[in-house]
Structure 1
Amino acid sequence: MERSKAGKLVQGVIAGLMGAAVLAFWFLVVDLAAGEPFRTPAMIAGALFGLDDLVTSPLLLGVFSLVHFGAFAIVGAGAALAIAQLERSPNLPFGFVVGFVLFNGVFFGSAAVTGIDVVGRLGWVEVLVGNLLAGIVLVNWLHLSGVARSVEWRDALKEGTVLREGLIAGVASGFVVATWFLVVDTFQGRPFFTPSALGAVLFDGATDLAEVEISLWLTAAYTPVHYAIFIPIGILAAAIAQQAERQPPILIGAILLFVAFEAFALGIIAVAAEFLLGPLAWWNIALGNLAGVLTIVGYLWKKHPRLVESLGTDRIETPA
């Protein structure tokens, strides 16, 4: 049954509250495992309210809980309105998108509001996993409540064209990004610095710029990881393009995926290897990823003429 806009907003708020509860429970488990119950909300609340000491008073935790659940209610309502524009949408990919957006919201939001690296203090793995779980629960509730119908991406992936197009798009985009970094590194007089630096962080555990040495071995070791990132993105983009030929509004999800990917790439480097943000420069990473995304879009644009034709109509803005 088609829900009204108010009904979708209500379900969105419920979904947001469920996501907030999952995230709160996740960090309660993490804190209990560390022998410090309620450490996470106390730390974040202290950062928000400018407290130097770690305080776990019921009043402080209660106020923070209101902020926490209120923020997720807003996110859930926004996600409901966005997903409702789609006739069908994939549970897991959209859940990851929302989770990535939440993760980067925590990272960049906390830095902007408090000037404190909250993610670094809590642990980026714990924050990322918690927000991914919250995003998946949030999106799945929106599907279960009838705000949007889910689509089985396995059906699309069974068709050989998706895997073939995705593989080509992923390899091509990875090559373009690698070439971009090579050009920038060479222009700055240090060819292969970027893959060497990322390889040093990944394989040698480098935590300082002095520990990074330009090495063809590190470059070669990092290269498979580089393409292992871009090939799944290419396959997902190919599946989205195929579905969007039948349901143009699903392109809204593709845009969200791109924004999440850009923010996630910057966020991961900022958290895992903050010392590289200066030498690599955020604009260098952002432009490289943009070039990779444009490569995928350009290739799939030529492969899906019906999708191009649909963009000339108003079907993309027509809700199901």
Structure 2
Amino acid sequence: MDIVGTWERLVRERGLRFGVSNHGAHAWHWWQTAYGYDAEGPRAGRRYDAATLTRADGAGTWWEGLDPQELYTGPTFAPPNGIGSIAEMNAWHDARDGQWIETPPENNPAFTRSWVARQRDLVDRYKPDLVYFDNYGLPLGQHGLDATAYLYNASLEWRGELPVVNGKRLEPEKRRGIVETVERGFNDSLMPEPWQTDTCIGDWHYNRSRFEHHSYVPAKSVVQRLCDVVSKNGNLLLNIPMRGDGSIDADERAILGDLAAWVRVNGEAIFESRPWRIYGEGPTAVVAGMHGEGGARPWTAEDIRFTTRAGTLYALALDWPETGKVHIRALGRQALEGRT
């Protein structure tokens, strides 16, 4: 079954943009544990199957014809023999494949060739409008740059416009070529280049306990985040985790319904909008950078965010004032003196 192709067809039928994510550039170090062994216990020192299995071993099995070494990427960081404790084994992995590594694997050019071929196949088959790379900058050095150039050139040929390509922790000059994404984090100022934050109403993958304990991020918090991001020249990429069969639960449906109701009333302040000369005002400060959601303070009715569209200025209060009145200092007489 072509899962990506099914998503692409359904999205296109509804007139939407289609985006894909590629996390594969890290697989070569994520999978290195599969080439290790138990340091303690009854099978101490015996290598796991990835260290010994080949395509030939699949004869007569459900994985016949598949190569385990392609799946597990090859033993780039296989732990040496003689590690005698769990603590020592963990320390060995943490110091090597446990790092966030962006470079191609040494002595394993086949992995890099496979990644490049798969990324190009993704582009050729599905013609995505957005490609999200889960990388600091672009994946695998020059290979990621070449893959991005291929996507840009192909997209110009297909539809006459550039797609969106996301990367993380970009140097200023790189923000002119791809869009920076601040995973589960904030920017604390109006950014000169478009940017994105990606977050989720729960965990990145479906967690049933979120439903059982009704602990999803509520629609109100999503709206607050959306207004803050857009006012700072950003885009919000929101994840709704699905069950294994592709369905979502009742709580998630309710959140999406609440978001749709808000957009029906206020969407003109968001879609096709541009930032104002300032992003907003208010007492609640955020810390710029990735993974800062956990320490964020609640928004208040004094936190105002501004957007513009077609000559109209929109002021979005991030909470409902108890008095029913909103005070906007940036629109006061003194603040606007001498401005047209």
Same-fold call, TM cutoff 0.5: no
TM-score, normalised to structure 2's length? Answer: 0.31
| Structure ranking higher in strand proportion | 2
TM-score, normalised to structure 1's length? Answer: 0.32
Larger radius of gyration: 2
| Structure ranking higher in helix proportion | 1
Task: Tell me: higher relative CO, structure 1 or 2? Use CA pairs within 8 A at least 6 residues apart.
Answer: 1
